[in-house]
Structure formats: structure tokens, C-alpha cells
Amino acid sequence: MSSAIAERKKEEISTNQIGEPVRNRRVFTPLADIYETKEHILILADMPGVDEQSIDITLEKNVLTIQGFTPSEMEAGLRLVHSECPEGNYRRIFALTEEIDRDGIEATVKNGVLKLVLPKSPKSMARKITVKSE
């Protein structure tokens, strides 16, 4: 029975010749801290090994998707015997409310930390309402 399973796996791999080769990699949910001020919401997401070239951020309707891709780092001539930092990519999804100004979103990355600034729309900001006497 094990030879039948091996043959089946071999067939599946050999028949997948269409498109780009796909690597199976783990996908981690990056840990994030979220802060709020009067003017914006700030998200700091830990994505070690990711730089500005390997981050993809999309906004579709009310869904903000962050994806980070890490390169496979294997030194030539070395064999990995122990790793405390597992290899993989990152993906996190946030649902946004209407109070976010979508055109003003900014993203930067430094030392593996993604910083997203989500400005609040002027309509949603708290404001002082003056009271008049009649």
C-alpha cells in the first residue's frame, strides 16, 4: 500500500507542469500592536526578514490585507541542524470601518517592523460643538 501512495504522489508532482513552480511554505500571522489617537490609527506588525520589496498591501472595499514574503536563506555549503526562527511568509487581514480615510493610508518598514498609519476621515473625528443661548 505504501508503494501505491508513493506512486500517486509522484504522479501529482510530475503532472503539475502548468504555471510557476509552487513552494509549500508556512504562513504566519504577524503579531501586531494597534494604537489610536484623535487623528489616526497606528498598526505596528512584526514581520522579521521582510523588507519594502517583499511586502504586498492591498485594500479592497473594507478589507486591508498585508502579505510579507521572506527569502529562503541557506548559506552555500551549510546544512541546517537547528533553527529557532522558522521559515515562512506572513499574512494578516484587517477589517476597516468607514471612519478610515483610505486615500491617506501610509506604510513603512524598518528592521522587520511594518508601520501602517490609517488616518481617520474628517467626518469621523471628534469635534467640539458650541452651545448657543436662545
Count helices and strands in the chain by DSSP H and E runs: 1, 8
Q: Is residue 35 part of a domain?
A: yes
Tell me what pLDDT residue 12 has.
Answer: 34
Residue 64 DSSP symbol: E
Pairing of strands 55-60, 63-68: antiparallel
Q: Is residue 6 part of a domain?
A: no
Q: Is residue 7 part of a domain?
A: no
pLDDT above 90 coverage of the chain, percent: 44
Structure confidence by residue, pLDDT tens digits, 21-47: 455 778 899 999 999 998 999 999 999
CA atoms within a 13 Å half-sphere pointing along the CA-CB vector of 114? 31
If one counts the domains in the chain, the total is 1
Q: Is residue 99 part of a domain?
A: yes
Q: Is residue 3 part of a domain?
A: no
CATH, residue 109: 2.60.40.790
Q: The domain containing residue 44 runs over which residues?
A: 27-123
pTM (2 d.p.): 0.69
Structure confidence by residue, pLDDT tens digits, 70-106: 877 667 788 878 777 677 899 999 999 989 999 999 9
